[in-house]
């Protein structure tokens, strides 16, 4: 089993909040409200991408203004893109990059320990070795396209899935912050446009709190293939063809009546759109792993970027859950592998389309796990964990060392001490990649470290 009750409850609550939209009073007492709760939501169909969007924010604008906004941004210059991929549950960093030679690691971990044999060498490191099923990520790292954070966290780390994730999403240690770090970047004058919702795009149906804005519109997209009109008890090809023919015809008759004309126009548009949406974005020259949700989302993202859609920030949730309180070895490897293979195909796809130099991707989890195993062959919520910044413009550096698992590297609660601060990563990305003022986005930016995470030449 790889799931704890506490975590699944958090997911449920977040899900119900997101579904309910504005302020449904279903938030657990004491948990921070996810950023973006309370933003208005409106449905929109973006024909140029063949996507249903749920548009958040920019309440005063009409849906047609968003179509215009996307079209205008489409015609403008294409800017740098930042992508956030969240690995839910708190991934065990020392099982992704294992300190196999640390004797404390060997004694603290019994059932979940990785050894030199079977693990994969980490380029440039004499301490850490990749999990055997992290091959996809190792390949990217070997090619210099992954900046690694072996022990990323923040001061006084919180062990709640909900609270710690919230901190990462809002880019601040502030339980009541209501805008996300990428949302605040989009809100900056000259960055986001009020009427271009796909500049901040969540794939997966609900808005990521990291994208919650105060000023400009952002959006969540559902599957591009969702615009179909099935009927219960109709599946014979012959009948379906007749029904679809009727669907296409019902909007056609002319009428003098303005209201009926509007209804028929909408029907006509729907029929036209349905026919256009068969394969709106084409296909990928790279083969992605099959039955892999992250791979599907990343392929869609690359195709959307290739089509020139004005996306600046994107948030996606990775595959599987990493809340491995018990029997960690059962689920960890396959989940890690499915994410790593998706990431590798994604980077190759970006390169094949010639847009890799525009995109940087931050992979993170809400925390790492405690070095000392529990009695269920699993690990409990910890502090510093692993993070990655992926892209052809990443420096490929390792930011901070993985600490020795003794009193110098483990805090009073038995958790790994940080050697990099996620807010410093955000500041560095904002300054070096997005060319914006981190002080306008991340609270206390002047007090936070900066790291060489992307090439600045």
User: Interior CA angle at 334 toward 107 and 348, to 5°?
Assistant: 115
Q: How far apart are CA 290 and CA 135, in angstroms?
A: 17
Nearer to another protein, 183 or 385 (CB): 183
Enter the tokens of residue 48.
């140029």
For the bound state, the minimum distance from the C-beta of residue 163 to another protein, rounded and expressed in Å, comes to: 15
Location of structure tokens 């997101």: 18
For the bound state, the minimum distance from the C-beta of residue 195 to another protein, rounded and expressed in Å, comes to: 14
Instruction: Please name every residue paired with 314 in a beta bridge, in sequence order, or none if there are none.
Output: 83, 201
Nearer to another protein, 25 or 77 (CB): 25
Nearer to another protein, 198 or 302 (CB): 198
Nearer to another protein, 40 or 110 (CB): 40
Burial of 97 per CB tally in 10 Å (0-12, 13-18, 19+): buried
Nearer to another protein, 181 or 388 (CB): 181
Nearer to another protein, 33 or 159 (CB): 33
Q: How far apart are CA 398 and CA 347, in angstroms?
A: 19
For the bound state, the minimum distance from the C-beta of residue 214 to another protein, rounded and expressed in Å, comes to: 4
Q: How far apart are CA 41 and CA 291, in angstroms?
A: 30
Enter the tokens of residue 438.
């981190």
Report the candidate in 121, 125, 128, 122 with the shortest Cα–Cα distance to residue 105.
128
For the bound state, the minimum distance from the C-beta of residue 216 to another protein, rounded and expressed in Å, comes to: 9
Q: How far apart are CA 140 and CA 301, in angstroms?
A: 19
For the bound state, the minimum distance from the C-beta of residue 70 to another protein, rounded and expressed in Å, comes to: 15
Element spanning 54, H or E: strand 51-56
The contacts of residue 447 (CB under 8 Å, 6+ apart) are none
Instruction: Please name every residue paired with 394 in a beta bridge, in sequence order, or none if there are none.
Output: 454
Enter the tokens of residue 41.
């939501």
Nearer to another protein, 274 or 417 (CB): 274
Nearer to another protein, 207 or 341 (CB): 207
Enter the tokens of residue 361.
């991707």
The contacts of residue 66 (CB under 8 Å, 6+ apart) are 44, 53, 55, 58, 195, 196, 197, 217
For the bound state, the minimum distance from the C-beta of residue 56 to another protein, rounded and expressed in Å, comes to: 8
Q: How far apart are CA 37 and CA 162, in angstroms?
A: 14
For the bound state, the minimum distance from the C-beta of residue 265 to another protein, rounded and expressed in Å, comes to: 8
Q: How far apart are CA 91 and CA 111, in angstroms?
A: 16
Burial of 255 per CB tally in 10 Å (0-12, 13-18, 19+): exposed
Nearer to another protein, 23 or 449 (CB): 23
For the bound state, the minimum distance from the C-beta of residue 420 to another protein, rounded and expressed in Å, comes to: 29
For the bound state, the minimum distance from the C-beta of residue 250 to another protein, rounded and expressed in Å, comes to: 5
For the bound state, the minimum distance from the C-beta of residue 418 to another protein, rounded and expressed in Å, comes to: 28
Nearer to another protein, 176 or 407 (CB): 176
Give per-residue burial for 39-78: e unless 16+ CB within 10 Å, then b: bebbebbbbbbbbbbbbbbbeebeeebbbebbeebeeeee
For the bound state, the minimum distance from the C-beta of residue 190 to another protein, rounded and expressed in Å, comes to: 18
Nearer to another protein, 76 or 245 (CB): 245
């Amino acid at each position: 089993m790889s799931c704890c009750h506490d975590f699944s409850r958090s997911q449920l609550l977040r899900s119900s909040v997101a579904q309910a939209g504005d302020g449904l009073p279903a938030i657990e007492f004491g948990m921070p409200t996810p950023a973006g709760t309370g933003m208005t939501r409106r449905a929109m169909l973006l024909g140029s991408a063949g996507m249903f969007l749920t548009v958040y924010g920019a309440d005063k604008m009409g849906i047609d203004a968003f179509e215009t906004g996307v079209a205008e941004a489409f015609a403008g210059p294409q800017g740098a893109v930042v992508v956030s991929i969240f690995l839910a549950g708190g991934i065990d960093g020392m099982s992704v990059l294992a300190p196999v030679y640390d004797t404390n690691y060997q004694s603290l971990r019994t059932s979940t320990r990785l050894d030199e044999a079977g693990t994969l060498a980490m380029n440039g490191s004499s301490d850490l070795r990749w999990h055997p099923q992290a091959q996809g990520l190792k390949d990217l790292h070997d090619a210099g396209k992954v900046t690694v954070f072996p022990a990323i966290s923040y001061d006084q780390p919180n062990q709640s899935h909900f609270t710690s994730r919230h901190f990462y999403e809002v880019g601040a240690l502030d339980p009541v912050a209501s805008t996300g770090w990428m949302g605040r970047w989009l809100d900056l004058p000259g960055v986001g446009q009020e009427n271009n919702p796909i500049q901040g795009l969540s794939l997966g149906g609900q808005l990521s709190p990291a994208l919650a804005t105060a000023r400009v519109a952002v959006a969540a997209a559902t599957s591009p293939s969702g615009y179909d009109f099935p009927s219960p008890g109709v599946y014979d090809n012959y009948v379906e063809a007749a029904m679809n023919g009727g669907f296409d015809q019902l909007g056609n008759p002319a009428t003098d009546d303005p209201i009926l004309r509007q209804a028929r126009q909408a029907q006509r548009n729907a029929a036209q759109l349905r026919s256009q949406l068969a394969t709106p974005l084409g296909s990928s020259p790279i083969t992605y792993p099959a039955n892999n949700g992250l791979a599907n989302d990343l392929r869609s993202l690359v195709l959307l970027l290739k089509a020139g859609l004005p996306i600046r920030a994107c948030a996606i949730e990775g595959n599987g859950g990493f809340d491995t309180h018990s029997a960690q070895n059962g689920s960890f490897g396959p989940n890690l592998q499915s994410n790593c293979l998706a990431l590798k195909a994604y980077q190759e796809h970006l390169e094949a389309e010639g847009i890799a130099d525009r995109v940087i991707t931050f992979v993170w989890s809400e925390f790492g796990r405690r070095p000392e195993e529990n009695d269920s062959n699993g690990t409990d919520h910890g502090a510093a964990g692993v993070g990655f910044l992926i892209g052809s413009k990443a420096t490929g550096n390792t930011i901070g060392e993985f600490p020795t698992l003794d009193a110098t590297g483990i805090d009073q609660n038995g958790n790994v001490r940080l050697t990099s601060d996620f807010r410093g990563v955000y500041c560095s990305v904002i300054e070096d990649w997005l060319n914006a003022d981190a002080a306008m986005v991340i609270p206390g930016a002047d007090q936070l470290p900066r790291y060489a995470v992307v090439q600045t030449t």
